[in-house]
Amino acid sequence: MIFECLGEKIYAEKIDNGLQVIIIPKKDGLKKYAAYATHFGSINYKFKAGSEEVTVPDGVAHFLEHKLFEQEDGVNALDKLTKMGANPNAYTSFNHTSYLFECTTNFEEVLKALIQFVQNPYLTHENVEKEKGIIGQEIQMYDDDPSWQLFFGLLNSLYTGHAITKDIAGTIESISKITPEILYKCYNTFYDPSNMVICVAGDVEVEATLDLIKKYTKERKVFVDIDRVYDVQTEANKTNKTEKKMDVSVPMFMYGFKRANIGEKLKAELPVEVNETIKYDVAMQILLEIIAGQSTELFQKLYEEGLLTKELSLEFSSEEDYAFSAISGESKDIDKVISSIRERIRRLKENGINNDEFERVKKLVYGRFVRSFEDVSTIANLFISDFFRGVNAAKYVETYKNIGKAEAEQILREHFAFENEALSIINVK
Amino acid sequence: MDEKIIKLNDKIFVHILDTKRFKSNIVAAFLLTDLNKEDVTANALIPAVLRRGTKNLKTMKDISEKMDNMYGAVFDASVDKIGDKQVLQFYISAIDNNFALNNEDLLNESLQFLCEAIYEPKLENGSFDSEYVLQEKETLRELIKGKINNKGTYAIFRCTEEMFGDDPYAIYKFGNEEDLENITSESLYTQYKKVLDTSEKHFYISGNINIDEVKKFFENKFETKESTEVKETKLKKCDLKKLEPRVIVDKMDVTQGKLVLGYDVNVESLENDFYKMTVYNAILGSSSNSKLFQNVREKASLAYTTRSIYVKHKGILLVTAGIELDKYEKALELIKIQVEDMKNGNFTDEDLNDAKVFLENLFVSCLDDQSTMIELSMGQYLLNAESDVYKIIEKIKNVTREDIIEMANKVELKVTYYLKDE
Cross-chain Cβ contact A31/B368 below 8 Å: yes
How far lies A82's CA from each of A113, B34, B307, B347, in Å?
Answer: 11, 40, 16, 17
Higher pLDDT, A52 or A13: A13
Instruction: With beta carbons under 8 A apart, name residues in chain B contacting A86.
Output: 361
Of the pLDDT bands very low, low, confident and very high (cuts 50, 70, 90), residue A216 is very high
pLDDT of residue B232: 55
In sequence order, the 6+-apart residues with CB closer than 8 A to the CB of A218 are: A17, A119, A193
B70 part of contact set with chain A, CB < 8 Å: yes
Q: Establish if A420 touches chain B: CB-CB under 8 angstroms.
A: no
**Is residue A354 within 8 angstroms of chain B, CB to CB?**
no
A304 and A361, same structural domain? yes
Residue ending a domain, choose from A193, A228, A263: A228
**Closest Cα in chain B, distance from residue A27 (Å):** 8
Identity at B43, one-letter amino acid code: N
What's phi and psi for A242, nearest 5 deg?
-125, 145
pLDDT at A234: 58
Do B401 and B349 contact (CB within 8 A), yes or no? Answer: yes
Closest CA to A114 of A89, A135, A97: A89
Count CB-CB contacts under 10 A for residue A178.
Answer: 25
- The answer, for B153 touching chain A at a CB cutoff of 8 Å, is no
To 5 degrees, how large is the angle CA B381–CA B371–CA B223? 55
Same domain, A194 and A72: yes
For residues A366 and A362, give the distance between their C-alpha atoms in angstroms, rounded to a whole number.
Answer: 6
Grouping H, G, I as helix, E, B as strand and the rest as coil, residue B93 is: strand
Residue B225 and residue B9: Cα distance in Å, rounded? Answer: 5
Residues A304 and A187 in one domain: no
Side-by-side strand order, sheet with B303-311: B246-251, B412-420, B256-264, B316-324, B303-311
Give yes or no for a contact between B371 and A111, defined as CB atoms under 8 angstroms apart: no
Q: With respect to residue A279, please indicate whether it lies within any of the assigned structural domains.
A: yes
pLDDT at B304: 79
Q: What is the dihedral of CA B339, B343, B347, B352, to 10 degrees?
A: 100
Burial readout A51-79 (b: 16 or more C-beta within 10 A, e: otherwise): eeeeebbbbbbbbbbbbbbbbeeeebbbb
Give the pLDDT score at B288.
78
In the predicted structure, residue B358 carries a pLDDT above the cut 50: yes
pLDDT tens across A184-196, in order? 999 999 999 999 9
- Residue A152: partners with Cβ closer than 8 Å, 6 or more residues away: A165, A167, A424
pLDDT of residue B357: 92
Place A207 in a pLDDT band, splitting at 50, 70 and 90: very high
**What ipTM does the predicted assembly reach?**
0.87
In-domain check, residue A420: yes
Contacts of B23 in chain A (CB under 8 A): 6, 370-371, 373-374
With respect to residue A196, please indicate whether it lies within any of the assigned structural domains: yes
pLDDT surpasses 90 at A4: yes
Q: Which residues of A are catalytic?
A: 65
CA distance A59 to A64: 9
Nearest CA in chain B to A363: B71
With 80 as the cut, is the pLDDT of residue A230 above it? no
Residues in chain A: 429
List the one residue out of B21, B22, B3 whose CA is nearest residue B13: B3
* pLDDT over threshold 50, residue B146: yes
- The whole-number average pLDDT for the span A195-213 is 97
Domains and CATH numbers, chain B: 3-221 (3.30.830.10), 246-420 (3.30.830.10)
Question: Using a CB-CB distance cutoff of 8 angstroms, which residues of chain B are in contact with residue A76?
Answer: 298
State residue A14's pLDDT score: 96
A130 touches chain B (CB under 8 A): yes
* Any domain includes A234: no
Residue B290, class by beta-carbon neighbours within 10 Å (0-12 exposed, 13-18 middle, 19+ buried)?
buried
A-facing residues of B in 178-207 (CB < 8 A) are none
Beta strands B303-311 and B316-324, pairing class: antiparallel
Q: Supply the pLDDT for residue A265.
A: 77
Tens of pLDDT, residue by residue over A328-371, are 999 999 999 999 999 999 999 999 999 999 999 999 999 999 99
What 3-state class would DSSP assign to B17? Answer: strand
Is A173 part of a structural domain of the chain?
yes
Q: Is B87 strand, coil or helix?
A: strand
Same domain, A387 and A412: yes
B64–A293 CB contact, under 8 Å = yes
Would you call B23 and A6 a contact, using CB atoms and an 8 Å cutoff?
yes
Q: Could A375 and B368 be called an inter-chain contact, meaning their C-beta atoms sit closer than 8 Å?
A: yes
Residue A152 and residue A21 share a domain = yes
Per-residue model confidence (pLDDT) at position A344: 98
CA distance B121 to chain A (A): 18
Number of domain units in chain A:
2
Are A246 and A366 part of one and the same domain? yes
Q: Is the pLDDT of residue A68 over 90?
A: yes
Please give the residue that has the higher pLDDT: either A264 or B337: B337
Put simply, the answer to whether A83 touches B357 (Cβ < 8 Å) is: yes
Beta-ladder partners of A87: A102
Burial class of residue A125 in the structure, from the number of CB atoms within 10 Å of its CB (0-12 exposed, 13-18 middle, 19+ buried) = exposed
DSSP state of B121: B
Do A174 and A320 share a domain, yes or no? Answer: no
Q: Does the distance separating the beta carbons of B256 and A83 come in below 8 Å?
A: no
pLDDT tens-digit map of B211-248? 999 999 999 999 888 766 666 546 877 788 889 999 99
DSSP A387-398: HHTT--GGGHHH
- Chain A with chain B: Cβ pairs closer than 8 A: 164
Query: What is the domain range of residue A166?
Result: 2-228
The domain boundary residue, chosen from A201, A228, A255: A228
Q: Which of A293, A300, A360 sits opposite B69 (nearest CB)?
A: A360
CA B366/CA B373 separation, integer angstroms: 6
* A254 plus A109 within the same structural domain: no
Which CATH number characterizes residue A417's domain? 3.30.830.10
Q: Compute CA B22 distance to the chain's CA centroid, rounded to the nearest angstrom.
A: 23
Examine the domain organization and report whether A342 and A412 are in the same domain. Answer: yes
Measured between CB atoms, which of A7, A103, A249 is closest to B142?
A249
CB-CB contact of B416 with B246 (8 Å): yes
B297 → closest Cβ in A134, A247, A376 = A134
**Four-point Cα dihedral A332, A338, A344, A348, nearest 10:** 150
Per-residue model confidence as pLDDT tens digits over B387-420: 999 999 999 999 999 999 999 999 999 999 999 9
Q: Give domain status of residue A186, yes or no.
A: yes
Contact residues, A window 145-184, toward B, CB-based 8 Å cutoff: 146
For B291, the closest chain A residue by CA position comes to A79
For B282, name the nearest residue in chain A, comparing CA atoms only: A82
For residue A235, tell me if it sits in a domain.
no
Same domain, A244 and A336: yes
Nearest CB to A300; choose among B60, B94, B362: B60
Does A303 sit within 8 Å of B135, measured CB to CB? yes
Residues 264-283 of A with CB under 8 A from B: none
* Predicted pLDDT of residue A236: 47
- Examine the domain organization and report whether A254 and A123 are in the same domain: no
Contact (CB, 8 A) for A100 and A90:
yes
Helices (H), B19-83: 40-50, 60-69
Instruction: Beginning with the edge strand found earlier in the chain, give each strand of the sheet holding B200-207 in spatial order.
Output: B3-7, B12-18, B200-207, B24-34, B85-95, B74-82
* Residues of chain B contacting residue A365, judged by C-beta atoms under 8 Å apart: 72
Examine the domain organization and report whether A130 and A178 are in the same domain: yes
User: pLDDT at residue A254 above 50?
Assistant: yes
Q: Which of A347, A380, A321 is nearest to A89 (CA)?
A: A380
- Please indicate if any CB of chain B lies within 8 Å of the CB of A427: no
Q: Do A30 and B368 touch (CB under 8 A)?
A: yes
Q: Of A88, A102, A145, whose CA–CA distance to B293 is shortest?
A: A88
Interface check A366 vs B, CB under 8 A: yes
pLDDT value at position A274?
92
**Hey, are the CB atoms on B61 and A366 less than 8 Å from each other?**
no
Q: Please state, rounded to an integer, the average pLDDT across all residues of chain B.
A: 93
Which DSSP letter does residue A368 get?
H
Confidence class for position B77, pLDDT limits 50, 70, 90: very high
Asked if residue A55 is part of any domain, the answer here is yes
Mean pLDDT of chain A: 93
Segment A93-132, tens digit of pLDDT: 999 999 999 999 999 999 999 999 999 999 999 999 989 9
Q: Which residues of A touch B419 (CB under 8 A)?
A: none
Say yes or no: A361 contacts chain B, CB-CB below 8 A.
yes
Interface of B with A in 246-265 (CB under 8 A): 252-256
Residues 336-395 of B with CB under 8 A from A: 354, 357-358, 360-362, 364-365, 367-369
Q: Is A300 on the interface with B (CB under 8 A)?
A: yes
Cβ atoms of residues B314 and B164 within 8 Å: no
Over residues A13-37, the pLDDT tens digits come to 999 999 999 999 998 889 999 999 9
Q: Percent of chain A scored above 70 by pLDDT?
A: 98
What local confidence, expressed as pLDDT, does residue A122 receive? 96
